[in-house]
Amino acid sequence: MARPLRTILIVLGIIAVLAAIALWVLTRPDVADFTAEQTSGRVPQLDEPAPQSVPTVDIAKAVGWPNGARPRAAAGLQVAPFATGLSHPRSMLVLPNGDVLVAESNAPKAKPGGIKDWIMGKLMARAGAGVPSANRITILRDADGDGRAEARAPYLTGLNSPFGMALVDDTLYVANTDSVMAFPYVEGAARITARGTRLVTLPATKPNQHWTRDLIASPDGSKLYAAVGSNSNIGENGIETERCVWQKGFPPEFCRAAVLEIDIAKRRWRPFASGLRNPTGLAFLPGSEDLWAIVNERDLLGSDLVPDYMAQVSLGDYFGWPYYYWGGYEDKRVSDSAPADTRQYTKRPEYGLGSHTAPLGISFSQGAALGPRFSNGAFVSLHGSWNRSPPSGYKVVFVRFGGKDRPAEAKPVEVLGGFLNGELEAQGRPVGVRIAGDGALLVADDVGNTVWRVSAAARASGSSGASRPPPSTSR
């Protein structure tokens, strides 16, 4: 019996060693060489690729805000809750009368997959993304102009992971994960009861890895633009899942990892710009026809690669995914399969937002009443990393614009921080950003379940240090 026992002990010892190695691989430090700021700006620093089979995991556990706590506003600004008690608020739309629509949404419910999907589900749940989707758009109304929404109602229900919204005349368009729906809009109404009609179908091939679909109308209201993320990190789910069912008359190009242009009158779309791994937010530069996108770049190249970015996108632009990044750097994991001349016409982004910061919302500052520092540029929410050490993002930043309507040389400026506490726990994570009718900045926080309102700080009055109340915003 001694020999079998010794054999069992040897086998158990080997298993223990293998388990220890696996644990080390899963938890090994991949500490960034650069700060998140160094990987941002017009010329971000790019580290050497460090391909990984298992990602760095450094997740800030979602804990929510303790009683009375709130984010930290930049000097000269103040922040207060506009609405609380929401269910995973994501994107927003400010209506002409000042009402605010907020999409309470999350990823579509999926059937259980393999061990990889199970692990990712657990990781995302820790980060605060494990809640079921409310599939609802809620209307928030600040009727008395005191900077807090005292009224709310379910505006639209029964949706399918809604995200982007756009209003054109008397029609409200909502981007579900798999379609753009059109609903009749009546100003001042507290609810839309009409079923709505499907304008177009959007790519949502399983596993539909990046599910959000931002939406924006062209300045003349004739077109819509929808952002559709890739179905994978670098095409590992099969490049065919990155394609979609072609609508007659359109060329067979990639239509995931792309911005689609939708002709409202013809009820069909075409690829507009491609090679964007996960475009999460769209905005037109006011006074122009320049469309800008913020993009979440690829993973598993280490903590310092690849910088997420913002870019001006035009018809026919290609930004390299999955074969190249940042204007032509090879991703050698897939670049050998790139179609001929792909590198030659890969466009470089205008501005880096830091590696793995996960930008999700963008709003240009025109119309904001936050002072001259924030008068010409874009507010961008950085939802925060899960696979970088140390964590990056978890704040709202301002990207200053300079000449020729392009970002200036300066690094991003923090507008709203404090989402991470001293224990590296996520009290909140910013998503949508919008300029309210009174010039305040609204920020949707999907972990704090709050919409925050950032405004100019009240000035001191007299020697007593008392403060004057902000001017009334009643209409």
Question: Would you write out the chain's pLDDT as a tens digit for each of its 475 residues?
Answer: 566 777 777 777 777 666 555 555 555 557 889 998 999 999 999 999 999 988 888 889 999 999 989 999 999 999 999 999 999 999 999 999 999 999 999 999 876 666 556 555 655 666 666 688 999 999 999 999 999 999 999 999 999 999 999 999 999 999 999 999 999 999 999 999 999 999 999 999 888 999 999 999 999 999 999 999 999 999 999 888 887 654 444 444 568 999 999 999 999 999 999 999 999 999 999 999 999 999 999 999 999 999 999 999 999 999 999 999 999 999 999 999 998 889 999 999 999 999 999 999 999 999 999 999 999 999 999 999 999 999 999 999 999 999 888 999 999 999 999 999 988 899 999 999 999 999 999 999 999 999 999 999 987 543 333 333 333 332 2
Look at the pTM and tell me if it is higher than 0.95.
no
Which residue reads 């179609």 in tokens?
339
What is the C-alpha radius of gyration for the chain, rounded to an integer number of angstroms? 23
Length of the chain: 475
| CA nearest to 161, candidates 197, 125, 214, 96 | 214
Distance, CA of 79 to CA of 70 (rounded, Å): 8
Tens of pLDDT, residue by residue over 218-270, are 999 999 999 999 999 999 998 888 876 544 444 445 689 999 999 999 999 99
Phi, psi (degrees; rounded to nearest 5) at 122: -65, -40
Sheet holding 197-201, edge to edge: 165-168, 171-175, 179-184, 197-201
The full DSSP string for 414-438 is EEEE--B-TTSEES--EEEEEE-TT
Tens of pLDDT, residue by residue over 318-340, are 999 999 999 999 999 999 999 88
